[in-house]
Amino acid sequence: MRILHTMLRVGDLERSLAFYTDVLGMRLLRRKDYPGGKFTLAFVGYGDESETAVIELTHNWETSSYDPGNGFGHVAIGVDNIYKVCENIKAAGGKVVREPGPMKHGSTVIAFVEDPDGYQIELIQQT
């Protein structure tokens, strides 16, 4: 068994695709419209779905925004140089909501960014 994907509902698919591809550097792996259900699924990630977990962006055509709620935590991404990654994210127009630094009660260096719909993305410095 393995994790296949995390699904996020997004209000503006093009805006979200731009964030995940242009700001976070993921690739659009596949996208499909479902006219009968009035929704589109787009899968983004850093590698092929057969080998890595990805993010499924679900856009319901008649819904323009969602409240992320208080049950969802975050998606985590491992990075090689967290300080440089955060600089690049800001330069690309992304929002860093917690600057890089050691996690509370630990030594792992983390940061948080927020996607256009308010979902949290945790960046974790890989050693």
Report the alpha-carbon distance of residue 95 to residue 102 in Å, rounded.
19
Closest to 56 (Cα-Cα) out of 106, 9, 2? 9
- Delimit the domains of the chain by residue range: 5-125
Closest to 115 (Cα-Cα) out of 37, 6, 35, 33? 6
Q: Is the pLDDT of residue 71 over 80?
A: no
Q: Is the pLDDT of residue 4 over 80?
A: yes
pLDDT range class, residue 81, cuts 50, 70, 90: very high
Q: What is the pLDDT of residue 68?
A: 81
User: Any idea which residues carry the catalytic annotation?
Assistant: 122
Q: Which CATH architecture has domain 5-125?
A: Roll (3.10)
Q: What is the pLDDT of residue 78?
A: 95
pLDDT in tens, 84-121: 999 999 999 999 999 999 998 889 999 999 999 999 99
